[in-house]
Structure 1
Amino acid sequence: MSPSRPSALLLLLAAVGVGVGVGAESANSLSVIEASRLLALDAEIVRGLRAYLEEEEERRQREEAEGDPESHTPEHPWIPAPLASIRRYIHEFDAVTEGHVGANFEPGGNEGVPSADPLRTLVIARRLGRDWPALRDAHFRNNMSWQGVVEAVEAAEARLGVAGGREEVAGGTALSLMRLHHVYNLHAHHLAQGSPAPLEDGARARRRSAAMPLLRASDLSAVGVKAMEQEMYGRAAEWFQAARDAEENEAEQESPQSASKSDTFRRQMDLLLHISTSLHDLLLTRRGFTGQTGIFPEQLSQISLMQQKESDVTPPDLEKLGKDDPMSASTTPRDELTFSKLCRGHRFLTPLEESRLKCRTDTRGSPYLALMPARVEELSLDPLILAFRDVLSPRQIEEVKDLARPMLEQAATAIGLNSGTISVRSSHTAWLRDDTHATVRSVSAKVAALTGLDVEDDVGGEALQVNLYGAAGHYIPHHDFVGAHYKAWEMQPPDGRTLALHPLGDRIATFMFYMNDVEEGGRTVFPRARVGVEPRKGSAVFWWNLLPTGMSDFRTLHGACPVIRGTKWVSNKWIKHHPQLHRRPCPVI
């Protein structure tokens, strides 16, 4: 089977009965806002189910007291809902939310709820995509009390703008979890237990646990299918193994009548495990290891997945991947590997390189900072990347968030918003102009003072872009410049349209603020500069996107690591080239 024929693979997955039913829309990850709405809908369902159980208990006690359990007429027989299924649905919700969701929960602004956790978001998406429709449709319409529950849920769906019974929502979160698993070298068995903690040096994952797992075997297999679709065969093999182990745990707690179904599922996982392992080794045989995403360096038939996974926590030998190409406009496998390692906290700079980096207080040549100099930390000297500490006050941060919240929309990239965009960037974005509020103007004034550049809207800079990243929110490695000089003057024929679209020139520099402390994950990393930045509330990072000549600096490739826990708020000020002629003049040739 060819590793480059995923369509044939999907037909095989469908043939063995694995739930592939996640269409093209499932390629998108769920944002924190969408996840919050799903959580609110699930909370509404559970509220209705609790009320239904109370009503049923009161009815049972009343009938026992009256001694007449057959009180319903033949025309309208009372048919009880399977109360055990309802209790299981409520019990799982309690386990998933762990007390974070109150009776009056509504989405929007709650950064600590389980909707900001990709593991729990996946469970909630599966519950709404499969479990609730099965529970809803299992009851008869003559049960008027149950019909009241269903109608209340339908009203909540309309109010929140989301609906249960959509399989694609689970597919989106499966993709997010797959990305987290790969970038941070997480262990599928840890994830099944609800712990997204990275695999540390010498740590071994527990394959069995007496605790109730957070993810079901079907959840784990769904992530494996997503990994297969992305040709991440090594990672897929781990998910299928975890799914098989989880099914064994679940089978021990199920009735004997479910044994046949459990055996079928395990045979399916054995087949998929064999297929993913074979495809992994076949790819290595044909192409060798060049840092492909989701592929281990050695064949799984020779060195076990666990052995290779544990060795992956050590600093990488990038020399095996060939020389770096800092002038490449596209992302290379070496860039992807370095990106993942930096996201995990690995350090690539040599002691000599680090010894040349300084921390200092600096007025930046601005009277604005004379009485309170900025705290500057050098992260890289070439290309120059600077971190500024405590440049925004808590009040400014909260005001910017409050202004942005009503305007947040699904983020698009420079190539537009389409079915593949969220695979590139998963966040919600709002744009705030200087005339929006005095706080926005003060933020722009701070950027101007710290950089010495003209950043006024439509004069020297763009409007302030505010981004909210939720569960597994990320931005793959990219450049901030649009390549105006390159596309306009070096391409044949020249791209004059690019110049027309950017009359103020390309983005000469980026100034990015961190507006909250991320619970875990969410670093900004520069694979070619070999440095990473931890998000710290009130701090900022600055870098030049263009060389002094005005040419694109491809070494500024950077990306946002996926958020493991919590949410991430950032805001960007992009500064244009032409208005800085006398502030950053071209070098004398």
Structure 2
Amino acid sequence: MRVFFLILYFLVFCYPNVSHSLDLSGLYRSFLSTQEDSDRSYGFDPTRVSQVSWRPRAFYYKGFLSDEECDHLIYLAKGRLHHSMVADQKSGESYKSYVRTSSGFFLQKGQDATVRRIENRIATWTFLPKENGESIHVLHYAVGEKYDAHFDYFKDEKNLARGGHRMATVLMYLSDVVKGGETFFPNAEGIDQHKDDSWSDCSKGSFAVKPKKGDAVLFFSLHPDATTDTASLHGSCPVIEGEKWAATCWIHVRNFNSVKDTKEESIEGEEDLILVEESSTGEGTWGKRKCNRSHSCMGKTAKRKCPKNQSYMVEFCGDRCKMCKAH
């Protein structure tokens, strides 16, 4: 850094004609960008972090993402969104539910330089290894869309088998919201929070965080002794005006990449996913997800991916994998 400024000083004061012909501000911005990529902190600034709750353990980072990073994540997901799903607490199967009405898309791990830099920054902030994290999940909420209060940790054996519980969540806000869309924690304890009329009614009975572009919240779903923390119950209030873009990174207690070929397959499966509404059960719920019968699933079955990557194939190509018992 010191050498760089000495060179700038030399050009400006010793060769003014040369310095005027160069875009020195552009050179400086380029240098800073290179420095950030080579910096092992990946842009992490601890002075921007504040503790907001101990039950649950939650921390707020002002300016975690730049405007350009927010816009880039939205760009990667826009036009590729699918209806968000929830997991059945007993079977672990994913299905469409009225409790979660947003849409989302999983990026690929390390998809590009920007995504890698954000993933590294998350690891630096949380002190948790990158391989324990899922792919960044970009979410979109239109007016009226929401996610009722829920836990991020699992109760079913299927999801626990891959990486164990989700122990921490990093929620990044990619846009401002005119009104609504707050993240609320109804079981949070010991927090006195004043709210004026700019807050939605949904958020007024709980500790809540307003979405602000670039900011992020880190909260833990497990206690330090690894038992589940019921105070981590949280949800997303309905958007009243505007729209909400966010990105989530769920971090597990163990390596989430331990299943062979998972990184290779995850994006393909998410792109090919088709959601089918089954007949009503009479209780106003949606049927479980059916597998897409596209060439992608059929091709993976032919390549014997079911036994090699059972977790992925059952999740995204379930009815094709019924045939895999013979393979």
What range is the shorter-chain TM-score in? 0.5 to 0.7
Match of 2:172 in 1: 513
Gaps of 5+ in 2: 1-38, 89-93, 189-205, 257-327
- Three-state SS of the structure 1 residue aligned to 2:101 is coil
Question: Which one has a larger percent helix, Structure 1 or Structure 2?
Answer: 1
Shift of 1:552: 1.3
Counterpart for residue 464 of structure 1: 136
What per-residue deviation string (whole Å, max 9, x for no partner) do you get for residues 495-551 of structure 1?
Answer: 5x4543x2x211010000001110111100100004110101100001111112222
> Retained in 2: the 8 A contact 1:510–1:542?
yes
The CA distance in 1 between the partners of 2:49 and 2:127, in whole Å, is: 14
Maintained 8 Å contact 1:380/1:531: no
Cα distance between partner residues in 1 of 2:44 and 2:219: 25
Relative distance call for 1:499 and 1:481 in structure 2 (3 A) is closer
Distance 1:368 1:435, change over 3 A: closer
Report the Cα distance in structure 2 between the residues aligned to 1:370 and 1:407, rounded to whole angstroms: 29
Equivalent position of 1:447 in the other structure: 122
**Match for 1:417 among 91, 95, 115?**
95
Q: CA deviation at 1:406?
A: 2.6
1:428 Cα offset (Å)? 1.1
Inter-partner Cα distance in structure 1 for 2:244 and 2:231: 25
Structure 1: runs of 5+ lacking an equivalent: 1-365, 488-494, 581-589
**TM-score normalised by L of structure 1:** 0.32
1:477 has 2:149 as partner: yes
Q: Which residue of 1 aligns with 2:250?
A: 574
Gap change, CA 1:387 and 1:499, over 3 Å in 2: closer
Q: Which has the higher contact order (CA 8 A, sep 6+)?
A: 2
Normalized per residue, which structure has more strand?
A: 2
**Percent of aligned pairs sharing the same letter:** 33
**TM-score, scaled relative to structure 2:** 0.56
Residue 387 of structure 1: aligned partner: 60
Cα root mean square deviation, aligned: 2.1
User: Are 2:182 and 2:209, in contact at CA under 8 Å, matched by a contact in 1?
Assistant: yes
In structure 2, what residue type is equivalent to 1:534? K
2:212 paired residue number = 536
Matched, 1:404 2:77: yes
Change (3 A) 1:443 1:374: farther
Distance (whole Å) between structure 1 residues aligned to residue 44 and residue 169 of structure 2: 25
Change in Cα spacing, 1:573 to 1:499, as seen in structure 2 (3 Å) is: closer
Check whether the contact 2:140–2:243 (CA below 8 A) recurs between aligned residues. Answer: yes
Residues 525 and 552 of structure 1: CA distance in aligned 2, closer, same or farther (over 3 Å): same
Conserved? CA contact 1:479–1:556, under 8 Å: yes
Spell out, residue by residue over 1:141-163, the C-alpha distance to the aligned partner (whole angstroms, 9 max, x if none). Answer: xxxxxxxxxxxxxxxxxxxxxxx
**Structure 1 residues 210-230: Cα deviation after superposition (integer angstroms, max 9, x where no partner):** xxxxxxxxxxxxxxxxxxxxx
Q: Which of 175, 182, 189 is the matching residue for 1:523?
A: 182
Note the 1:342-361 alignment, pairs <5 A.
none
Counterpart position of 1:211: none
Listed as ranges, the matches of 1:38-437 within 5 Å are 368=41, 372-415=45-88, 416-418=94-96, 421=97, 423-437=98-112
Q: In the TM superposition, what whole-angstrom CA distance separates every residue of 1:551-585 from its partner, at most 9, and x where no partner exists?
A: 211110001001000100000000010249xxxxx
Amino acid at match of 1:409: H
Q: Are residues 498 and 375 of structure 1, via their aligned partners in 2, closer, same or farther at CA, if it must alter by over 3 Å?
A: closer
Q: 1:514 to 1:466 in 2, by over 3 A?
A: same
Cα distance in 1 for partners of 2:168, 2:227 equals: 12
Poorly superposed stretches of 4+, deviation over 3 Å = 369-374, 497-500
- What one-letter code is carried by the residue in structure 2 that aligns with 1:417? Y
Tell me whether 1:549 sits opposite 2:225 in the alignment. Answer: yes
Structure 2 Cα separation of the partners of residues 516 and 405 of structure 1: 13
Q: Which residue of 2 aligns with 1:4?
A: none
Contact kept in structure 2, 1:547 and 1:553, CA below 8 Å: yes
Q: Which amino acid aligns with 1:516?
A: S
1:560 maps to a residue whose letter is S
Give me the whole-angstrom Cα distance separating, in 1, the residues matched to 2:147 and 2:220: 19
Output the CA distance in 1 between the equivalents of 2:82 and 2:111. Answer: 17
For 2:43 and 2:214, how far apart are their aligned partners in 1? 20
Structure 1 residues 523 and 508, CA gap change in structure 2 (3 angstroms): same
For the Cα contact (< 8 Å) 1:517–1:535, is it kept in 2?
yes
Q: Secondary structure at the match of 1:444?
A: helix
